[in-house]
Amino acid sequence: MSSPASAIDRLVFALALGVALAVLLPGIASPVGYPDMWMHLAAGEAILQDGGLPALDGYAHTAEGRPWVLHSWASELGMLGVHRLAGLGGLRCLLVGLLLAGGVAYCALFRGLGYAWPLALAGAWGVQALAVDRIRLRPELVSYLLFPILILALERWRAQGRGWSCWMALALGCTALWSNFHPGVLTVPVLAGLLWVAPYLLRWGEGLLRRDPELLRWEPGPLTGGLPWEAPLLLAGATLLNPYGWGLYVYAAEVSSHGKFVSEWYPAWINFASPPRWGMALAPFVALLGVGHQLIWGQREASSRAWLLPALACIGLAFLRVRLLYLLFVPFATCLPLAWRQPRRSLRLGACGLLLACAQLLAVHHHGISFVLSNPGVSVRPDQPHAAQSLLRALDLPLRLWHPASWGSYLSFRLGLEPAVKIFADGRLGLYSVALLEDQLWLEGPFAPGETAKLAQRDALLERYGVEAVLDRRGHFVASSEWFWAYASPQAEVFLHHERGAAAVALTLETYRDLGVDLPPELPAAEASARIRAFLEQATPGD
């Protein structure tokens, strides 16, 4: 008969996996044709049409006029090939296959680092659970898959020491492959450098705490437990094995130089409203606590501890792109209890931490999760103004609509709206031209009321596509003299053009109010559209 303690362990483990599964399922059940995926397919189409890699990447936010590399070209070309062979069903299978392969890779990593099977499985599930915001068919999934393979290869390489080995070849090959699929590979030499210098830092830290001059003395050559010094150099060379070479490093420098890092990514470290960001913000501090625990209790060779590898990896990935840590916080969090070297406590603490993290995600995302599970195949994004969308759909007017609420979301409206409401794009799903996407990305940029030249350029683009109505987040669209306000819901506003289309002008709610239709400002969109349609049915052409 099992003891109460082991029964509690199994119960906590089962609860953790159950909550993780509940968080993970909506990511798999949500539509595979999410907006950004069509952009990746368009990038693959551009490669085939040009017969090679384009000189500019129109699918990334860049500083105005700066060249950009197509840094995820292999991912996008592969996605296009699957889409041509098997359609959306094939892309769904590709998504599930990448998730399953990543789960197996993480489980193998945890087992290789000394975890028992229950904790290894819990960690693998937890990675996917905490990555629920990133579970889409995008190039980041390649980083998600290759990261644990690389970490395991580095650990085996570290244990073997110098000299050629299959683990060294695996690490270099994994890095070279990664460099063509996603720019997350730029963290690999940073990670290897941290793993090389970590034994020195730990030795010197212990020497300071113990006031031992022998530990503070410099010793040439690698210390026991660290990677060989040539590992960072070899791995950095492997990152250059792509068509752009140093272009990936230029990419990282450009990201940091034109303010994107400071204005958008850095606040993710201090935004505690989102549980994944909460985990990212705490990751470096927990790493320092773990190192301090090793030093204060006087445990030598701390660099060989299994938890240190994923901890340093998370910090290394922070140097490139904060959002990648969505995929990598759980290995860090579940590895920390291993420092106690007590399997039962390690399992219990790791499972409890996983349970708490998943519970936080459920608390924040339960509305979206319940919607996806109850409406399979229906796309939902938190910034989509459904009330204003419902009004335009119910009126059934042949409007040419522009919706810049978020990057690529006009494509989701193209997929979700009735044919009567037309999007300015050409309707060839996933086959949009580079110029069109560049215009779209430019139009979605921020506009201030005083930027008259920029607003004039925006209006010229909207006129080029014959846009009659603009549907946007409330307070986001800066209307020039050519546009007037028509409708506002708590989340969104509708603006109409003064000249293009009598139907668009007729849509203004102020016009219907002047004609005597009772339309209070707080009236729900469905009720407002019903009253307008009733008025139109009663009106004669002479009215």
Helix locations, 375-470, DSSP H: 386-395, 409-416, 434-443, 452-464
Per-chain mean pLDDT for the chain: 61
* Number of other residues whose CB lies within 10 A of the CB of residue 325: 25
Q: Which residue would you say has higher pLDDT here, 324 or 387?
A: 387
pLDDT in tens, 260-270: 333 333 333 33
- 116 pLDDT above the threshold of 80: no
**138-152, 235-249, 417-431, 489-503, range with the lowest pLDDT:** 417-431
* Model confidence band, residue 378 (pLDDT cutoffs 50, 70, 90): very low
Q: Is 484 left (phi over 0), alpha (psi -120 to 50) or beta?
A: beta
* Alpha carbon distance 461, 434 (integer Å): 15
Q: Which residue would you say has higher pLDDT here, 364 or 340?
A: 364
pLDDT in tens, 278-307: 334 344 344 444 444 444 333 444 334 444
Three-state SS at 385:
coil
Q: Which residue would you say has higher pLDDT here, 108 or 508?
A: 108
* Alpha carbon distance 460, 437 (integer Å): 16
Residue 532 structure tokens: 């307008």
pLDDT score at 169 = 92
- 445 pLDDT above the threshold of 70: no
- 81 pLDDT above the threshold of 90: yes
* Number of other residues whose CB lies within 10 A of the CB of residue 518: 11
pLDDT score at 506 = 53
**15-29, 160-174, 399-413, range with the lowest pLDDT:** 399-413
The CA-based angle 116-120-124, given to 5 degrees, is 175
Q: Which residue would you say has higher pLDDT here, 468 or 66?
A: 468
pLDDT score at 170 = 92
* CB contact set of 403 (below 8 Å; sequence gap of 6+): 409, 410, 413, 423, 470, 471, 472
* Number of other residues whose CB lies within 10 A of the CB of residue 56: 15
* Model confidence band, residue 454 (pLDDT cutoffs 50, 70, 90): confident
* Alpha carbon distance 498, 468 (integer Å): 9
pLDDT score at 530 = 67
The span from the first CA to the last CA of the chain, in angstroms, equals 85
* Mean pLDDT of all residues in 27-56: 69
- 357 pLDDT above the threshold of 60: no
β-pairing verdict for 400-402 and 469-473: parallel
pLDDT score at 114 = 66
- 314 pLDDT above the threshold of 60: no
pLDDT score at 419 = 30
* Mean pLDDT of all residues in 513-525: 66
Q: Which residue would you say has higher pLDDT here, 361 or 52?
A: 52
β-pairing verdict for 483-488 and 492-497: antiparallel
**Dmax (CA) of the chain:** 99
**Could you tell me the sign of the dihedral formed by the alpha carbons of 134, 138, 141, 146, in that order?**
negative
Q: Which residue would you say has higher pLDDT here, 94 or 111?
A: 94
pLDDT score at 331 = 41
pLDDT in tens, 200-226: 666 666 667 677 777 666 554 444 456
Are residues 84 and 193 in contact, defined by beta-carbon separation less than 8 angstroms? no
* Model confidence band, residue 480 (pLDDT cutoffs 50, 70, 90): confident
**CA-closest candidate to residue 524, choices 485, 488, 495, 493:** 488
* Mean pLDDT of all residues in 480-508: 65
φ/ψ of 483, rounded to 5, equals -120, 145
Q: State the helix-helix crossing angle for 230-238 and 187-210, rounded to 10 degrees.
A: 160
**CA-closest candidate to residue 46, choices 55, 36, 34, 33:** 55
**Could you tell me the sign of the dihedral formed by the alpha carbons of 190, 196, 201, 206, in that order?**
positive
* Mean pLDDT of all residues in 359-366: 53
* CB contact set of 498 (below 8 Å; sequence gap of 6+): 482, 483, 484, 505
pLDDT score at 26 = 58
Q: Which residue would you say has higher pLDDT here, 355 or 529?
A: 529
Alpha-carbon distances of 117 from 110, 127, 355, rounded to whole Å: 8, 15, 17
* Alpha carbon distance 301, 534 (integer Å): 79
- 173 pLDDT above the threshold of 90: yes
The percentage of the chain sitting over the pLDDT mark of 90, rounded to a whole number, equals 5
- 177 pLDDT above the threshold of 90: yes
**45-54, 134-143, 313-322, 484-493, range with the lowest pLDDT:** 313-322
The CA-based angle 304-115-333, given to 5 degrees, is 75
- 144 pLDDT above the threshold of 70: yes
* Mean pLDDT of all residues in 80-103: 85
